[in-house]
Structures are given as structure tokens and as C-alpha cells.
Amino acid sequence: MEALARRIRRICLTGPECTGKTTLAQRLAEHYATAWVPEFAREYALEVARPLTLTDVDRIARGQMAGEDLLTIDADEMLILDTDLISTIVYSNYYYSAVPQWIVAEARRRIADLYLVADIDVPFELDPARDAEAHRIDHAHAFRRTLDEFGARYVVVSGDLEARVEKAIDAINTALSS
């Protein structure tokens, strides 16, 4: 008899730069004893060490999807994503006023079960992969607007790290029980 395909719930951390998404993703993966997918765009930007262009958006999207697909194998009922294609769409719109349509279609197909939107109530820390401190509030609105357009379920997490972890766990547990 063929093994039944298991359903992996996808929980995605999203939101503007420098809002603690990676730290929160790691903490949640540890709490739930599951795998988490790092943000591909950040590592890509650091690796190419030049201003990104619209042609990079395709590579970023494909790299993000590859990481998600690979780490789904290691997930135990749930996969924590440190961003997904929604972020690719938001930033492609912001920087280039365009998004390859295949990415929009794929984002709709891969919509997460729950998005945890990191609020901008934490200090911005400048580094080589971050450049949009002045636009954080605009990005926060763009993320929420895009999630609304996609009909995504989301919860905004704010406060210090411990408050975010607690709110995220509550939201995930609620989502898993529904």
C-alpha cells in the first residue's frame, strides 16, 4: 500500500526588514521541534555583494522555493518559513514596480497556513543586506495589504522577543486546532 502523503502546516514569518523574523523563526522551530527555512534573499544579497536588479528577483524566488521544498522533508507536521514569496512580491514591487507573474501565481499556490507579521516596534540595525529603515512603515502597510489581497490568514506580532514568541505560539496553536 502506498504511504499517505502527510500534510505539513506552513507558518511564515514576514514583514519589513530588521524586525526579528529570523530569531523568531528559530525560536518557534525549536519550540515545535521542527525545521525552519532561512530567508534566501538575504544570503543571496550578501553573496552577490552588489545592488540587486529585477533579474535577481527570479533567482531569489527560485532559491526560496528550493529551500522550502528541501526542508519540508525534515519538517514534523509544521514548517516554519523565515519569509516566503509574499516577501519577494512586496520587495519586487517596492524596488522595481514590477513582479514576474509566475511568482505571483506560485505565491498563491504556496500560501502559508498562517503568517506572523513582525511589527516595526523594534530598533533597526543597519547591515549590508538592509537599507530601508526610512521605509519600514510603508513596508509594514505593503505586507498587510498584500496578505489581504492574497486572502491570507495573519497575526501581527509585536513587543520584545518574549512577547512575540508568546503571541506567535498562541496564534500557531489556534491555527493548528482549527
- Parse the chain into domains and list their residue ranges: 10-177
Beta strands in the chain (DSSP E): 9-14, 36-37, 78-82, 114-118, 154-157
Query: Which pLDDT does position 3 carry in this prediction?
Result: 40
Residue 178 pLDDT:
76
Q: Which residues pair with 114 in a beta bridge?
A: 11
Per-residue pLDDT at 103: 97
Give residue 5's pLDDT.
Answer: 47
Which band of pLDDT confidence, cut at 50, 70 and 90, is reported for residue 63?
very high
**Cβ-based neighbours of 163, under 8 Å, separated by 6 or more:** 157
Residue predicted with more confidence, 19 or 5? 19
Residue 127's pLDDT is what? 63
Superfamily of domain 10-177: P-loop containing nucleotide triphosphate hydrolases (3.40.50.300)
Burial of 107 (0-12, 13-18, 19+ CB in 10 A): buried
Of the pLDDT bands very low, low, confident and very high (cuts 50, 70, 90), residue 90 is very high
Q: Is the pLDDT of residue 86 over 50?
A: yes
pTM of the entire predicted model:
0.90
pLDDT at residue 124 greater than cutoff 80? no
Mean pLDDT of 125-145: 77
d(C-alpha 178, C-alpha 11), whole Å: 14
Mean pLDDT for the chain? Answer: 89
